[in-house]
Structure 1
Amino acid sequence: MSEIQFEIDGKEVKATEGMTILEAAQNVGIFIPTLCHHEKLEPFGGCRVCIVEVEVNGWTKLVVSCVYPVEENIIVRTRSEKVDRIRKTIIELLMAHAPDSPQLQDLAQEYGADKDRFEKDASFCIHCGLCVRYCAEVVKKNAIGFVDRGINKEISFIPEIAAKECNDCKECFPLCPTSYLQAAFVLTEALAFPPPSSEPVSEE
């Protein structure tokens, strides 16, 4: 693959064709925040926190860096007035769902986000898709998936699969940027998993 040269935050960067802006930035130690990216998973672009400003031939646009491929001679800005303003709003929207998430709280402090700006809808899930994609792409068990769509979308364990696979796995738990995944599993376990079999006690 050919090598591509471009600029990130005033620094000349070389990357391999096919890499995303996020990957190229990470390779040279430039931080771009993200909540839905994982190196073992296909790019998803779900959280939108990793937006950056790209300048091409004098024209600028906002792109999602985890899915946008590097291009020759583009100029990338990971922080600008426009990027910070929109990133702040995205964080505030996410905090309406998961106000107690440590990762979101750290980002809110960095960008001056107001956790109370939007009406709370404390579902605790921000639809990053890490658990769903990790289970499907890495573990290959498909024990968890998205249910419904739009504002009603949520993640849910598939009881028939989860009962067999999840107790000995739980690799997705540390990936969750909120507490939702663990709570959803406990609920599924309580409502749907078969109780452990018990042998009748014989009376002598």
Structure 2
Amino acid sequence: MSEQHPFGAPVTFQVEGRPYEAHYGDGLLETLRKYGYEVPSLCHHEAVSPYGACRLCLVEVVDKRGRRKITTSCNFPVQPGIDVRLDTPDVVRHRRVVLELLLAMAPRSPELQALAAEHGVTTGRLEPDETAEDCILCGLCERVCREVVGANAIAMSARGTAKKMTTPYDAENPACIACGACVYVCPTKCIGLEEADGQRTIVRWGRTLPLAVCEQTGRAFTPRFLLEHYAQELGGLDEKVFRKAPPYR
């Protein structure tokens, strides 16, 4: 009879043969990083659910029976008795192929170029798409907009080579509060935020909103619509708290 472990129970697993402790079901990628292991990733952020889109966080997992498989570590749960191998020849080879694919999708991204160079990839076998917008379809912007901000302003559209991250009907979406969270988490910096003449524009989504002015400093600090959104979401707060920039509240 196999040993049963309830979700969240303490378990022991191995990394390159060394024993470590974690909780059953913990995300493997975050657990590895907690113990100081460097595993590359472009689509993972601890604030949102794992997605496994970029495929860079590949590791080899050997189970109790000696069965091996290469898997993304961001959405793989820690399990008792597994042995995780980080840089086997197969893992390195698969990761380099993934980097070549990503470079073809985002050939102008300095962040991606630097990461690829760290792993010995400077050119790819694929012709770069010079018309690409440097989006690698990692889904981070959509997840942070939906799961953290709660605006649900963007989504993945279409399939195959036409697949892209966009707003409904490729038009300015009134649900966008121009908070900039999508800009902050984008690993290739392809979304863009501009502020000028008292307005903030999220470039990729074509969303422009007027900025509120801090009544203490007289400086613009965030979109008015964003403040109205959170005043409604949080409820019960004195409306005056939103008249000042955070350091002066």
With normalisation by structure 2, the TM-score equals: 0.70
Counterpart residue type for residue 86 of structure 1? H
The answer as to 2:89 corresponding to 1:70 is: no
> Helix, strand or coil: the match of 1:161?
coil
1:181 aligns with 2:191: yes
User: What pairs with 1:85-96 in structure 2 (closer than 5 Å)?
Assistant: 85-96=93-104
Distance 1:39 1:187, change over 3 A: closer
1:133 aligned to which of 139, 143, 168? 143
Counterpart of 2:45 in structure 1 is: 38
Structure 2 unpaired stretches of 5+: 1-7, 194-200, 211-249
Structure 1, unpaired ranges of 5+: 196-204
Q: Give the Cα separation in 1 of the matches to 2:59 and 2:23.
A: 19
Match of residue 165 from structure 1: 177
Give per-residue Cα distances to partners, 1:48-90, cap 9 Å, x unaligned. 1001001122221101101111111111011111100000000
CA distance in 2, matches of 1:131, 1:3: 33
2:147 is matched by which residue type in structure 1? E
- Taking the aligned partners of 2:74 and 2:163, their CA distance within structure 1 comes to 22
Q: What's the RMSD between the two structures over aligned residues?
A: 2.1
**Match of 1:198?**
none
Provide the identity percentage: 39
User: Structure 1 residues 12 and 102, CA, compared in 2 at 3 Å: closer, same or farther?
Assistant: farther
CA distance in 2, matches of 1:179, 1:30: 25
SS of the counterpart of 1:86? helix
Query: Residue 89 of structure 1 aligns to a residue in which SS?
Result: helix
Pair 118,160 (structure 1): closer, same or farther in 2 beyond 3 Å: same
The separation in 2 between residues aligned to 1:43 and 1:115, in whole angstroms, is 28
Equivalent AA in structure 1 for residue 20 of structure 2: V
> Higher mean Cα deviation, 21-30 or 89-98?
21-30
8 Å CA contact retained: 2:107, 2:129 = no
Alignment partner of 1:81 is 2:89 = yes
The 3-state SS of whatever aligns with 1:131 is helix
2-side partners of 1:103 and 1:77: how far apart?
Answer: 26
The number of residue pairs the alignment matches comes to 190
Partner SS for 1:113: coil
Mapped partners of 2:21, 2:60: distance in 1: 18
Counterpart pick for 2:128 among 100, 103, 120: 120
State the shift of 1:194 in Å: 9.1
Structure 1 stretch displaced more, 119-128 or 179-188: 179-188
Give the distance between the partners of 1:40 and 1:193, measured in 2 at CA: 26
Pick which of 101-110 and 38-47 moved more.
Answer: 101-110
TM-score by length of 1: 0.85
SS of alignment partner, residue 22 of structure 1? helix
Q: Deviations over 1:81-140 (max 9, x none)?
A: 110000000000000011232332222112211434211124211001010110000000
> Structure 1 residues 131 and 88, CA, compared in 2 at 3 Å: closer, same or farther?
same
Larger Rg: 2
SS in 2 for 1:5: strand
In 1, the alpha carbon distance for the partners of 2:103 and 2:36 equals 27
Evaluate the alpha carbon distance shift between residue 21 and residue 187 of structure 1 in structure 2; reply closer, same or farther with a 3 A threshold.
closer
Q: How does 1:19-34 map to 2 (within 5 A)?
A: 19-34=26-41
